[in-house]
Amino acid sequence: MRTNRKTYGLLTAILLLLVFFHYLGWLTFFENFARKILNPILTETHKTSVKAGDNVRYFKNRDEFITAYENCLNEKEDNNVLNTKLKLLEDENTELKTQIKYLQKNPTEHVTLDVVGRDLNSAEQIIILNGGSNHQLAVGQPVVIREGILVGKVFKVEPNLAWVRVVNDHGSKIAATILNNDHSLGIVEGGYGISLRMKFIPRNEVINVSEDVVTSGLDGLPRGLLIGKIAVVENEAYQPFQQAILTPSHDLTKLTVVTVLVK
Amino acid sequence: MKKIWKIIIALIVSAGIFFLQILAKEFLPYPLNQINIIFAAMAWLLILTGRVGILWYGAPLAFLIEIFSSSQFGLNSLLLLFSFLLIFWLLINYFTNRSLLIVMLLGLIGMTFYRSCYILYQLVFTSGGDNINWSLGGIFSLYGVEIIITTVALTLFYLLTTIFIKKLNPSYISISKL
């Protein structure tokens, strides 16, 4: 029993010393060395898991498979129609871009980073990026993918690593607006990594399924970053506000490269 | 020489557990990706051997956990150590028979203690990020799944080990013949 106490005492003392040395900065060399070795391994593991996820789709039964196939065919037809519209819009867009170039005096600075992996010792939806304060990253900056799809916000930064709380994490709250006639405002909250829910939408405003939801810019994030589309509207008579379930614009479990808007 | 071997074994055990945790997080679907392999593996080793000294093998693991952790440096390792202390104390003083139910109970108590302290720390000492929703229901839904699934994993580890070490161990046959 005495030996056990001694072992526990020693282990606790060593851990406390580690913490002390960490905050003094004496462990920085070892931390950076370990991260330098482990970062590529973690990144490759993460990329492999994303690839594996892309190739697997489960169907419970034959009917579900056939329904999915029919939906796929329908979507293909819809896409053909959309492609025609897109062509027209593309021409228009090229013209607009030329004009915007003249108006953009202060372009947004951004940093593109690899996703190292997920936070290992947490049940929350947190991803780790391979860049930190050395790359101009700071707490609260928005993280996006593609043409401005919001992924989350930076909430912890170290010189060469940053932690991002993904929008579908239970702790994430983003001020948002729906692109409907009323431009309804609300707050998008995560649902334990599974769903997105927009709350506090005034009951008298009309919102429809498939309408886009973007950041409103009221909480410091840039306005207009795409969050998702409305999938279900819940407007109960006894509730002071209506709310909506959103489908994220991108699969948030399959992030490999992201862009942080640093200014 | 013996000490060098111990250090090498500690490094291998730590790296093994660390990569198992990564694989579980990255490849298993929800809720299986919520298994805390680090807790389950170290608690399993502790219960199986009944020696606190086994925790030395996890010392390098503490460093690896902390450099990739989003919480304060040292918090997870210290809380894990304290929860193992609680498990060991219960194992020595109260739950001495090490049946499957006892292992399950120990896992449940240890994991609940670990996460309760973690949540308490986040509530008291940090703002927990810029705008975190720390509703009680949310916390229980999030960490409750982790506690249950880790306890089940620990029990399964122990069950498999007891089958292979005790029931399928040929030395028992010779002992029973004597």
What pLDDT score does B130 carry? 44
Q: Taking CA atoms, what residue in A is nearest to B31?
A: A123
Which residue out of A4, A11, A44, A128 would a mutagenesis test of the B interface target, given it has the greatest number of B Cβ atoms within 10 Å?
A: A11
Query: E strands of A99-224, at which residues?
Result: 110-118, 126-129, 142-145, 149-157, 162-166, 173-178, 185-191, 195-202, 212-215
More confident position, A92 or A228:
A228
A29-38, A239-248, B105-114, B163-172: least confidently modelled range:
B163-172
Weakly modelled stretches of chain B, pLDDT under 70: 126-135, 166-178
pLDDT > 50? residue A103: no
Q: Is B130 on the interface with A (CB under 8 A)?
A: yes
Using alpha carbons only, give the angle B22, B65, A260 rounded to the nearest 5 degrees.
75
Question: What residues of chain A lie within 8 A of the CB of B25, using their CB?
Answer: 117-118, 120
What pLDDT score does A96 carry? 56
Is A31 close to B67, i.e. CB distance below 8 A?
A: yes
- pLDDT band of residue A226 (cuts 50, 70, 90) is confident
The predicted model gives A129-133 an average pLDDT of 89
What pLDDT score does A105 carry? 45
Question: What residues of chain A lie within 8 A of the CB of B142, using their CB?
Answer: 123-124, 170, 192
Single out the residue of B72, B70, B40 nearest to residue B58, CA to CA. Answer: B40
What pLDDT score does B53 carry? 79
A9-23, A49-63, B148-162: least confidently modelled range:
A49-63
Residue B49: count other Cβ atoms within 10 Å of its Cβ.
Answer: 10
Is A124 close to B146, i.e. CB distance below 8 A?
A: no
| Total residue length of chain B | 178
Q: Taking CA atoms, what residue in B is nearest to A220?
A: B130
Is B76 close to A14, i.e. CB distance below 8 A?
A: no
Cβ-nearest to B68 among A45, A49, A120: A120
- pTM above threshold 0.80: no
Q: Is B93 on the interface with A (CB under 8 A)?
A: no
More confident position, A222 or B1:
A222
More confident position, A117 or B133:
A117
pLDDT in tens, B104-120: 999 999 999 998 888 88
pLDDT > 70? residue A221: yes
pLDDT > 60? residue A153: yes
Q: Is A257 on the interface with B (CB under 8 A)?
A: no
Q: Is A128 on the interface with B (CB under 8 A)?
A: yes
How many Å lie between the alpha carbon of A204 and the closest alpha carbon of chain B? 27
Q: Is B24 on the interface with A (CB under 8 A)?
A: no
Q: Is A28 on the interface with B (CB under 8 A)?
A: no
> How far is it, in rounded angstroms, from Cα A78 to Cα A130?
39
A52-66, A249-263, B27-41, B140-154: least confidently modelled range:
A52-66
The predicted model gives A69-91 an average pLDDT of 83
More confident position, B160 or A90:
B160
> How far is it, in rounded angstroms, from Cα A197 to Cα A195?
7
Q: Tally C-beta pairs within 8 A across A and B.
A: 130
Is B70 close to A171, i.e. CB distance below 8 A?
A: no
Q: Check: CB of residue A177 under 8 Å from CB of residue A164.
A: no
Q: Taking CA atoms, what residue in A is nearest to B27?
A: A49
What pLDDT score does B153 carry? 92
Specify the DSSP class assigned to residue A192: T
Tokens representing B43 are: 């608690």
Is A7 close to B78, i.e. CB distance below 8 A?
A: no
Q: Check: CB of residue A215 under 8 Å from CB of residue A199.
A: no
What pLDDT score does A102 carry? 41
Question: What residues of chain A lie within 8 A of the CB of B70, using their CB?
Answer: 119, 122, 124, 126, 128, 155-156, 163
What pLDDT score does B155 carry? 92
Q: Is A189 on the interface with B (CB under 8 A)?
A: yes
Which residue out of B130, B140, B145, B148 would a mutagenesis test of the A interface target, given it has the greatest number of A Cβ atoms within 10 Å?
A: B130
Backbone angles phi, psi at A119, to 5 degrees: -65, 120
Question: What residues of chain B lie within 8 A of the CB of A122, using their CB?
Answer: 69-71
SS3 for A128? strand
Question: What residues of chain B lie within 8 A of the CB of A171, using their CB?
Answer: 128-129, 131-134, 138
What pLDDT score does A187 carry? 92
Q: Taking CA atoms, what residue in A is nearest to B118?
A: A122
Q: Is B137 on the interface with A (CB under 8 A)?
A: no
Mean pLDDT score of chain A, rounded to an integer? 82
Q: Is A229 on the interface with B (CB under 8 A)?
A: no
Whole-complex ipTM = 0.74
